[in-house]
Structures are given as C-alpha cells and as structure tokens.
Amino acid sequence: MASCVVTTSSFCTVSDSSIRLKSSKLVHLQRRRSLGSRGGLKVEAYYGLKTPPYPLDALEPYMSQRTLEVHWGKHHRGYVDNLNKQLGKDDKLYGYTMEELIKATYNNGNPLPEFNNAAQVYNHDFFWESMQPGGGDMPQKGVLEQIEKDFGSFTNFREKFTNAALTQFGSGWVWLVLKREERRLEVVKTSNAINPLVWDDIVCERVSLIFSCYKVMFPLDHMYFCCCCLQPIISLDVWEHSYYIDYKNERGKYINTFLNHLVSWNAAMSRMARAEAFVNLGEPNIPIA
Amino acid sequence: MAIRSVLSRRTLSSLKESSSKLLGLRGIQTFTLPDLPYDYSALEPAISGEIMQIHHQKHHQTYVTNYNNALEQLDQAVNKGDASTVVKLHSAIKFNGGGHVNHSIFWKNLAPVNQGGGEPPKGALGGAIDTHFGSLEGLVKKMSAEGAALQGSGWVWLGLDKELKKLVVDTTANQDPLVTKGGSLVPLVGIDVWEHAYYLQYKNVRPDYLKNVWKVINWKYASEVYESECK
C-alpha cells in the first residue's frame, strides 16, 4: 500500500494484514480478556489516520500538494502514531470516544501526556474537513443568516476571524463555534493543541448539578448534557507548519486565501445542522412542501 | 534635543533594513533591526541561507516594527491616562518586545564555522558546564531533548542564575524572554524552536535541526556573557 490509512476514525485495531473495527463495548470486553488471553486477541492500535475528503493536490494553488504531504503525511500521521503508542502502554484510557478522550486527558487544565496527541488528531481531522476544493465565497441560507445575526454582517465576521488568526501569538487554531448557553456563533482562538471541546466541563458541571435533582423523575444520562457546549463549525490551523511552505511568514495572506478559496461552507452547514440537535436556536424554518 | 534612537550595535558594512525613528519630542526610544555579523548563507549547511534571510528580514523585522508601534500606542495611552489601553497593550508588547530581545540574542549565539561556530567553550564557562552537566555532550543532549519536547512555539535556553550562581536549562513559550522564568536568569545560549526557525530545511523533524544547530553555536559569546556576569 502506498500509504497505510484507515478511512474511518476511532476504534480500529491495525495489524499487518487486516483492519478490524470495534465498538466501545467490545473494547471493554477485549480488555478483560487480553490479560492471559486465550485466542491471542490483542488490542494494538486505537486510532487511524483519516484521509482528507479530497486528493492531496485538490487544494492547489491555494494550499500546495507539498504542504498536504508534509502536514497530513508527517505531522498529522505523527500525532496518530504517537497517540497509539501512548495508548498501548496501559489500559487506563481504553473505551473513550475521541471527544471523551480529549476532555479526559485535558484533565481540567492539567493535561496528561496523551492530550497533545489526541487533541491534535481531532484538530487536524476537523481542519481537513473544514476545507474543500472550490471553497471560500459566502455561506448560504441558515449559516449566513446566523452569521449575520451574530456578527452583524459577513464582512464583520471575516474581520473578527482574520483578526483572531493574526493575533494568535505562537502556534494555535482559530474556530468559528456555536455556543450552546449563549445560543450564538462566536470566533475563538486557542493555543497549541487546545480546542473548544475542553471548555465544556465547567459549564456542564453546573448543568448536571441542576438536573441531578430531577434524576429520579427524569433519569437523564449525564453525558447527554455534556456533549459539546461549544460546537466547532469551522477551524483554521495557524501553526506555522500549516502555511510556511506556501506563504513563508505571511500569515495574513494565508488567512485571506483560506477565507476566499478554501473554507468549506458546506461542511459548516452540516455541522450547524448537527449542532442544532443540542442548541435551540429558535423556531425551525420548515419549508412548505 | 533629539534623542538618538538606535540601541543596537551595527556593522559598518550594511545599512539596509533599519528604519531609525527620531522621536525626541515624545521621549520614547524605538528600536531597529540589528545587523547580522555574518552573511545569510554563512551558517550552511546547518541552517540554510533562505531560512536566515526570512528569519532576519521578515520575522525579526516584524517584531521590531510591531514593538515600536505598540510602544508608541503605549506612550499615547500613558499620556492620556488611559489605563485600560495600557493594560490591553501588554500582550503585544510582551510578544513583540520579547521577539526582538530573543532574536537579538540568537543572532549573537550563532557564528559560522570559520568564525568559531561550534567550537566548545573553554575557560570558566566550559568548567561550569562540566560541573553542572557532566560534559558538554550532556548539556547538548539535555537541551536538545527539552527543545524537541517543547509543544508549539518557544525557545530552549542555557541560562545563568546570577543569585544561585549556577547554570540552568529552561524553556520559554512563544516569545517569552528567559527572565520571565526567573528574575535572576541571564540568557547565555538560546535556541529558537519556532517552526519558522527550521521548517524550510528540516520540515517537521525538529530533532534533526537541534542536532545540527550545535555546529554553529557561538560559545565565545556565551563565555563572554558568563564571565561578565560572574564578576
């Protein structure tokens, strides 16, 4: 195989000749069996390197194939490999989804060694899917309406996004997120590997406290309320490795190009639709058949 | 009376890239990009000429420019008594000022091989390194490991703790100068591990950059600083 990639994320065991997919339940069973295992089943690797939803040269000339080859093929792959190595050491972190793993390893601001790799795997998956060939331009319908509602105008959003990307000193990411409590879109920036998912916990603790009284009457799963208080919609990688080959030090040019030619408002639309399962943005616009 | 605003040593040979601003009327001093005491390509093959040129002419120059702008804005805000603007400018000053400070040290930390780059330290500093780290190799191994492990952008330093009179290896994030890790720390050798310092040549393999950069480290300068601080 030219490149060993798995096209679905999470819970893959990778051996030389086969790829097996396991659900979280099965992994738990695996763990119990693997100590003194009969049948020789051994959980080896947990996350696969997801390919971007387009060929590596599809974003030319705005993001070169060379950049994709190094950024995805070396940086992103490195995070996946290193994460798998860490997870292979003991079974403390078995059975998590990616989002759960990130929150668990973030450890309320005192990150465990696995956090950097886990978060960066998620961040890069999200980033590739935030772009598309022939991207850029303007969003449509619901996304555009929400942006105009929360930022005043699309131009204002662009300005805020660009400014955040330019003033993220050092390495990091810029995000358009949907905030569940405030029920609005916002631009946030994060440093190094941090992403908006880690900011869930503080809010969710409060929410679950309120609802704990109702647990007898309404047995609600704690996790239901703690799914993504900040829903990421779009992200931009502003680590230097993301733009240095194509733009050298000119981060501003890179940001402009991303907004003009790369950002996938289609992806934003589907992420917004999913986010609306958790955030009540008001009366749905039911089209008249 | 005009206040000369050049605060860095300049070689006689080149006068490019420096925009010296005379702001005598306002009383604040601004900064200029220091010249390199060697050609951009002089550090090859350890660091390519392309990297050196962009690193110096673009990155460092941007820090200088933005630092000067931030200082001007700070001066205006201070004169107006605008406390919230003064506080707001804090991060831009720390970042850009730190970038200027750190890179000014960095250019002096490097030297071409034919000007002593890579030659191990002798004298007092050499002895101190052996005492604290066992050997120069031990120090190099430690600094390279810490530099490689640093997540994101930052610097790895060999510093002298003036008060405790000992050498320390430490890292700082982004453009924080070493002094942010301890007021008595004096930087002797700093290695830039921001991606812009090595990406065009080494791509994601930061450990290779860290292996090679030692071949052009200017221990003579580090020794001078050490000896002057130890008096």
CATH of the domain at B223: 3.55.40.20
Cis link prior to B121 (omega < 30° from 0)? Answer: no
| Residue B38, domain member (yes or no) | no
Task: Determine, for residues A244 and B199 on separate chains, whether the beta-carbon distance falls below 8 Å.
Answer: yes
What is the total count of domains within chain B?
A: 1
Q: What is the pLDDT of residue A213?
A: 41
Of A74, A239, A249, which is closest to B203 when you measure between CB atoms? Answer: A74
Q: What is the pLDDT of residue A10?
A: 41
| Residue B9, domain member (yes or no) | no
**With a cut of 70, which residues of chain B have pLDDT below it?**
1-27
* B65, burial (CB in 10 Å: exposed 0-12, middle 13-18, buried 19+): middle
Q: What is the pLDDT of residue A226?
A: 41
CA distance A105 to chain B (A): 16
CA distance A116 to chain B (A): 8
Q: What is the pLDDT of residue A43?
A: 54
Task: Determine, for residues A171 and B195 on separate chains, whether the beta-carbon distance falls below 8 Å.
Answer: yes
| Residue B28, domain member (yes or no) | no
| Residue B77, domain member (yes or no) | yes
Does A123 lie at the interface with B, CB-CB under 8 angstroms?
A: no
Task: Determine, for residues A248 and B54 on separate chains, whether the beta-carbon distance falls below 8 Å.
Answer: yes
Give the DSSP letter string of B2-47.
PPP---S---SS--TT------TTTT-----PPPPSS-GGGGTTTS
pLDDT in tens, chain A (289 residues): 333 333 334 433 333 333 333 444 444 434 444 444 445 555 556 899 999 999 999 999 999 999 999 999 999 999 999 999 999 888 888 888 999 999 999 999 999 999 999 999 999 999 999 999 999 999 988 899 999 999 999 999 999 999 999 999 999 999 999 998 888 999 999 999 999 999 864 444 444 444 444 444 444 333 333 445 789 999 999 999 999 999 999 999 999 999 999 999 999 999 999 888 877 777 666 777 7
| Residue B22, domain member (yes or no) | no
| Residue B27, domain member (yes or no) | no
The DSSP H or E segment spanning A253 is: helix A251-257
Task: Determine, for residues A248 and B58 on separate chains, whether the beta-carbon distance falls below 8 Å.
Answer: yes
* Measured CA distances, A15 to A23, A40, A43, A85, A235 (Å): 17, 13, 9, 14, 33
Task: Determine, for residues A241 and B195 on separate chains, whether the beta-carbon distance falls below 8 Å.
Answer: yes
Does A172 lie at the interface with B, CB-CB under 8 angstroms?
A: yes
A75, A52 contact by CB (below 8 A): no
B165, B185 contact by CB (below 8 A): no
| Residue B184, domain member (yes or no) | yes
Q: What is the pLDDT of residue B223?
A: 97
Residue A177: φ, ψ to 5°:
-125, 155
CA distance A281 to A38: 52
Residue A186: φ, ψ to 5°:
-145, 160
**Which residues in chain A are closer than 8 Å to B200, comparing Cβ atoms?**
244-245, 248
What does the pLDDT look like over B76-108, one tens digit per residue?
999 999 999 999 999 999 999 999 999 999 999
| Residue B153, domain member (yes or no) | yes
Q: What ipTM, to 2 d.p.? A: 0.86
Task: Determine, for residues A70 and B204 on separate chains, whether the beta-carbon distance falls below 8 Å.
Answer: yes
**Residue B136, domain extent:** 44-230
**Which residues in chain A are closer than 8 Å to B50, comparing Cβ atoms?**
none
pTM assigned to the model: 0.82
Q: What is the pLDDT of residue A277?
A: 80
Pick the closest to residue A66 from A245, A241, A254 (CA basis). A245
Does A74 lie at the interface with B, CB-CB under 8 angstroms?
A: yes
